[in-house]
Amino acid sequence: MGAATTQEILKEGIKEYKKTHSLPYYKEKAICALIKCRTAALGGHIQKCPAGCVSRIWYNSCKHRFCPLCNFIQIGRWLAKQKARLLNCDYYHAIFTIPHELNTIFQYNEALFITLMFSAVKKVLFDLLSDPAHLGAKPGIIATFQTWSQTLILHPHIHCLITGGGLTGLGQWKEVQNGYLLPFRLVGARFRKTMINRLRRAFEEGKITLPADMRPQKFHNLLNTLEYKKKKWNVHIMDRYSHGAGVCSYLARYLRGGPISNSRIISFNEQKVSFSYRQNSKEDKKNKKQTMILPLNQFIDRLLCHVPKPGAIMVRSWGLFANSKKEDLSLCRAQVGQLPAEEKKEFLDWQTFCSRQGDDHPERCPVCGRLLICTDVFEPKGIPPDELTTEEKAA
Please list the pLDDT of the chain residue by residue as tens digits (395 residues): 556 899 999 999 999 999 999 999 999 999 999 999 999 899 999 999 998 888 888 899 999 999 998 888 888 888 888 998 999 999 999 999 999 999 999 999 999 999 999 999 999 999 999 999 999 999 999 999 999 999 999 999 999 999 999 999 999 999 998 888 999 899 999 999 999 999 999 999 999 999 999 999 999 999 999 988 767 788 999 988 988 898 999 889 888 899 999 999 999 988 999 999 987 755 555 668 899 999 999 999 999 999 999 989 999 999 999 999 999 999 999 999 998 877 655 556 666 666 665 556 677 888 888 888 888 888 887 666 554 433 343 33
Quick check: 92 and 285 in contact, CB under 8 A? Answer: no
3-class SS at 58? strand
Quick check: 159 and 168 in contact, CB under 8 A? Answer: no
Q: How many CB atoms lie within 10 A of CB 228?
A: 9
Which pLDDT value is given to residue 395?
Answer: 33
Phi first, then psi: give them for residue 174, nearest 5 degrees: -130, 125
Which pLDDT value is given to residue 325?
Answer: 93
Q: How many CB atoms lie within 10 A of CB 271?
A: 10
Could you tell me the CA-to-CA distances from 270 to 13, 263, 305 in Å, in that order? 7, 20, 20
**H or E element that contains 240:** none
Which pLDDT value is given to residue 124?
Answer: 97
Give the chain's count of helices (H) and strands (E). Answer: 12, 13
User: Taking each helix axis from N to C terminus, what angle separates 245-253 and 72-85, rounded to the nearest 10 degrees?
Assistant: 150
Q: Give the predicted TM-score (pTM) of the model.
A: 0.89
Could you tell me the CA-to-CA distances from 215 to 219, 220, 228, 335 in Å, in that order? 7, 9, 20, 56
